[in-house]
Chain A
């Protein structure tokens, strides 16, 4: 018997209102995922892959409305309150952004950006979170993690930034991560 689904998306519809009525770039999307599985969503440019992924974390721009059902850990994510949602984000569902250049805050060190969710979700103190940040950088094979952890995004190469993004997403050991990046495999 197969393991139960950890994520089930049913009849996802993402729409925005125009003067001429509601337009839906994403309609009738359903998929499900078991623990340990990898799901790749493939499609031509502009077919709604990114919108679907963003809707899982309720990160859609305010002008877009998602309807349907996203069941995760017994909850419908589309119906959760903002406070409950922020416990799910990072802690249970992580995300690797497409553009590591713009998805890292230029004025914060890499270490702080990795350590912050650890202090937030896992209750680690500053020193422990920092050590874990160094470990995460080592895990994604960034050379000299002890030095890089103190550096700012502009001091890292593109590949290192991409790895740092992954380290950030994986830091809290989420149940499910939603990479929206095609270049993930090429780095």
Chain B
């Protein structure tokens, strides 16, 4: 079942003197539970595409439907709610909240959703167990390595059981072991909770795990293939 439909999407940035056409007529459908990597050279529009799927940016032209709903018609407030309840974001630069501990960072989105305290506690413990970080529960991000911070960032994105996880170069700064742990967790969530994952990446290790690879060049889809995994 197709849950994300990109219908002839264009995105042009006009802030600079010369307009930048970041995305040029992308039409793609993504099914529920996919584990998809969007690849391509720098500046090909991967991040822009992810931002538009996540409702952070609006397309200049075209429609994005998520579970049948055209998100470009949502108000700013509705988009915030939509992101909160449906999407987990993972950023290249971790972007944890520095004043919160590991536990508080992971709980954060669930707190915004006013989830039950016991449920939040169980979820945090489960994710930290999976990430082998139970001993870092009350540690603040600045005391963690880059790999550990990214694991917490992934746990935060997964904690509230989002339907979609959008990860922008999540492994760019990680070593092999950290990448392995993260991809393992995401694969588990994909399988157990049927979360749909979309990565933008240059990382071969991520591409090796992906079941579908969409290749972008100059804002256009130049390749779209199932990997057979």
A and B are interacting partners: no
